[in-house]
Structure 1
């Protein structure tokens, strides 16, 4: 058996068998940023963009993305999510937006990929909806900042050795 959990003894990709893992409450939080021109932030907040309510639309897209993670990432388990909250906050100091997703489930495996997917899809949607007014945008710093539950226990960014 390979030491890598997604490979079998012959090196072929496989989905990890979680049959014997107990279902527990799991939570993951991911964050990212979209940087852009200061005027883009102001226009998005004011609702003065060609595509309307871009922040609310991107937050909804993030929720939808979390729910479709197993369709996008080949070896992810499809999970019945119990909670997905995506928030996008303007940050004039960047300038840009701070994206955050918190995902919860009761199951045998974690929801880190769902949280990362939610942030990524929210950022991509915001980019798509603002690209007509700003070609300087960049999405970055997407990472898991917290996870709770499961065999490996709780973790927050900065607490790892």
Structure 2
């Protein structure tokens, strides 16, 4: 587990960029935190760093937004899914979205506890909480791929711990 402070929006963008630089072949990320904790902001920073252009919408009302990841250098493109499950009533509702775990290279899931049992296992849990004018961030890997991802991040993060 790794914990640190994101003192401002630039630090959140920096974390998103570092996550993008070391993205595993496939990754599922659960984003935890209260409303306004910065989950969508971090997801947007990660997607932007992966080369997604145009509008990156919060899936608050659509439940899911899909993005095509461009081929860049050694990074093979693929599909990224950004889900916000705050508004679903029960995990069974995810069946109606027609999501195929094999299709997506990256899953970013806000409010994952509301989809329990209907989502792929998380490689990485990211918990965000408001702390002063910044955010407290905790990274918790759940799989070997997640552990390698966090280990690769820790060496290059220029963020106060």
Do both share a fold (TM > 0.5)? no
Is the radius of gyration larger for structure 1 or structure 2?
A: 1
Pick the TM interval, shorter chain.
under 0.3
TM-score (norm 1): 0.27
TM-score (norm 2): 0.27
